[in-house]
Amino acid sequence: MIVRMSWKNVWRSKRRSAIVVAAIALGLWGGIFSAGIMEGMAEQMVNSAIERELTHVQIHREGFRDERSELMTIDDAPEVADYARRLPGVSAVTSRSIVDGLVSSPTTSQGARIEGIVPVDEQAATALKKEVVQGAYLDTAQVNGIIIGRKLAEKLAVKVRSKIVLTFQGPDGTLIYGAFRIAGLFETPSSMYDESTVYVNQRDLFGLLGRPMIHEIGIRLSSETLVSSTQGKIHARFPALEVMNWQELAPELKVTAESTAIFMNIFLGIILVALLFGITNTMLMSVLDRVREFGMLMAVGMKRRQVFVMVMVETIFLSLTGGVAGMLLGGGTIALLQKTGIDLSMFSAGLAYYGMSSYLVPTIPASTYPLLALMIVATAVLAAIYPAIKVIQLHPATAIRTYL
């Protein structure tokens, strides 16, 4: 009955309760919407990096990532790739031959990372093919074809079908030159990446290097949840190799994802703290209107502890009503925008610098809602403390004769 009484008490002053419920609902709506955008941006940044090149798990020879020496190849690369392909949840495996070199056009030169790929494998593992915006993707049939970023093409003042020369150091230390014809230009959400990476057929690169040299195997999984188990299995099978997941490969992305989650909670926390004062004010008005009633309750035998709990429960009801409304509004807005997306093309240049697409899909992890509900209850409990203390400090004999 006390719980039912608390619920009814919330609606004694309908207008007053409705105002605070609306304030909570709108505050949370705004909070959830903003958090959804932040989380959506972070998720997009991570996904775009995984899709672009990172994949979920990468295998290298120990030390390759630090020394970047083309001599540090994965010796039994075909066997490793085959093993990875057979693991459950592995959707694609791509082997890359990587050398750092110089890309030269008739007018200028630019340092770049040259990746020798098997076009079909790379296409399955990353979004490279989809990101070709001009010309065509690499074709195994075309000898010495190359695809480069559109940004790099602009810098080199070349276009599709132009000829460019790649210069890099061979395994024996000699300089190797290779002439390539541009098959296509790609454009990823990251302009920095587009300026510094070129792709050629692995077979052509092996030809110039004089032998097959695989430096990197990228593994794409059907689900993010399989990352650590896949990583563990490969490491167990090939302990000499360095097997890393995307979070280890790009710690800055992991930090981005994690810090976004923290910022999101802080942001929602700030909103709730602001709401806390509104809730306290409303509850204070509500209890001060009912001094005589509280006096009667304590006079007839309701313990101060029970009165305290009643005020708490009322505040929790009031806050949760607004909270649930806010979560429904916020969740609904996010769900709607997940279908339509948000067009941020007017900021595309700036977003591209951070590796983000101009089409944003806001997202909120499902786990946020129960956490938010808990935060609302915690806010309500905090907000109720002052009014509840005011009530239990009342002297029943005096309170009962209070006429407002």
Partner 1 sequence: MSLIRLTGITKTYNEATIPVRALDGIDLSIDKLEFTAIVGPSGSGKTTLLNIIGGLDQPTSGSIVIEGVDISGMSDSRLVDFRLRHIGFVFQAFNLIPVLTAKENVEFIMLLQNVDKAGRDRRSVELLEAVGLKDRLGSRPSELSGGQQQRVAVARALASHPSFVLADEPTANLDSQSAFSLLELMERLNRTYGMTFVFATHDARVIQRAHRVITIEDGRIKSDRSNTPG
CB closer to partner 1 out of 8 and 159: 8
Q: Does 300 bind partner 1 (CB under 8 A)?
A: yes
Q: Which residue in the set 3, 8, 228, 350 belongs to the binding site for partner 1 (CB under 8 A)?
A: 8
Q: Does 288 bind partner 1 (CB under 8 A)?
A: no
Q: Side chain identity at 82, as an amino acid letter?
A: D
The span of 20-28, 248-256, 266-274, 293-301 binding partner 1 (CB under 8 A) equals 293-301
CB closer to partner 1 out of 151 and 290: 290
Q: Which residue in the set 18, 136, 255, 299 belongs to the binding site for partner 1 (CB under 8 A)?
A: 299
* The 3-state secondary structure of 8-39, one letter per residue: HHHCCCHHHHHHHHHHHHHHHHHHHHHHHHHH
CB closer to partner 1 out of 299 and 349: 299
**Residue ranges in 360-399 that form contacts with partner 1 under rule CB under 8 A:** 396-397
Cα distances (angstroms) measured from residue 11 to each of 5, 52, 131, 283:
10, 55, 57, 12
Minimum CB–partner distance for residue 296 and partner 1 (Å):
4
Q: Does 2 bind partner 1 (CB under 8 A)?
A: yes
The span of 8-16, 66-74, 139-147, 316-324 binding partner 1 (CB under 8 A) equals 8-16
Q: Which residue in the set 3, 12, 133, 259 belongs to the binding site for partner 1 (CB under 8 A)?
A: 12
Minimum CB–partner distance for residue 318 and partner 1 (Å):
14
The span of 6-14, 19-27, 69-77, 238-246 binding partner 1 (CB under 8 A) equals 6-14
Q: Does 175 bind partner 1 (CB under 8 A)?
A: no
Minimum CB–partner distance for residue 285 and partner 1 (Å):
16
Query: How big is the site for partner 1, counted in residues (CB under 8 A)?
Result: 24
Q: Which residue in the set 293, 348, 385, 390 belongs to the binding site for partner 1 (CB under 8 A)?
A: 293
CB closer to partner 1 out of 12 and 161: 12
Minimum CB–partner distance for residue 294 and partner 1 (Å):
10
CB closer to partner 1 out of 236 and 404: 404
Largest CA distance in the chain: 101
Cα distances (angstroms) measured from residue 343 to each of 276, 346, 355, 358:
34, 8, 16, 6
CB closer to partner 1 out of 101 and 295: 295
Q: Which residue in the set 5, 273, 335, 336 belongs to the binding site for partner 1 (CB under 8 A)?
A: 5
Q: Does 120 bind partner 1 (CB under 8 A)?
A: no
Minimum CB–partner distance for residue 390 and partner 1 (Å):
17
Q: Side chain identity at 120, as an amino acid letter?
A: V
Q: Does 9 bind partner 1 (CB under 8 A)?
A: yes
Q: Does 303 bind partner 1 (CB under 8 A)?
A: yes
CB closer to partner 1 out of 349 and 389: 389
* The 3-state secondary structure of the chain, one letter per residue: CHHHHHHHHHCCCHHHHHHHHHHHHHHHHHHHHHHHHHHHHHHHHHHHHHHHHHCCEEEEECCHHHHCCCCCCCCCHHHHHHHHHHCCCEEEEEEEEEEEEEEECCCCEEEEEEEEECHHHHHHHCCCHHHEEEECCCCCCCCCEEEEEHHHHHHHCCCCCCEEEEEEECCCCCEEEEEEEEEEEECCCCHHHHHHEEEEEHHHHHHHHCCCCCCEEEEEECCHHHHHHHHHHHHHHCCCEEEEEHHHHCHHHHHHHHHHHHHHHHHHHHHHHHHHHHHHHHHHHHHHCCHHHHHHHHHHCCCHHHHHHHHHHHHHHHHHHHHHHHHHHHHHHHHHHHHHCEECHHHHHHHHHCCCCCEECCCCCCCHHHHHHHHHHHHHHHHHHHHHHHHHCCCHHHHCCCCC
Q: What burial class does residue 292 get, using C-beta atoms within 10 Å of its C-beta: 0-12 exposed, 13-18 middle, 19+ buried?
A: middle
Q: Which residue in the set 140, 228, 259, 306 belongs to the binding site for partner 1 (CB under 8 A)?
A: 306
Q: Does 316 bind partner 1 (CB under 8 A)?
A: no
CB closer to partner 1 out of 207 and 396: 396
Phi (first) and psi of residue 217, to 5 degrees = -120, 125
The span of 78-86, 188-196, 294-302, 336-344 binding partner 1 (CB under 8 A) equals 294-302
Q: Which residue in the set 302, 325, 344, 382 belongs to the binding site for partner 1 (CB under 8 A)?
A: 302
Binding residues (CB under 8 A) for partner 1: these are 1-2, 5, 8-9, 12, 292-293, 295-304, 306, 396-397, 400-401, 403
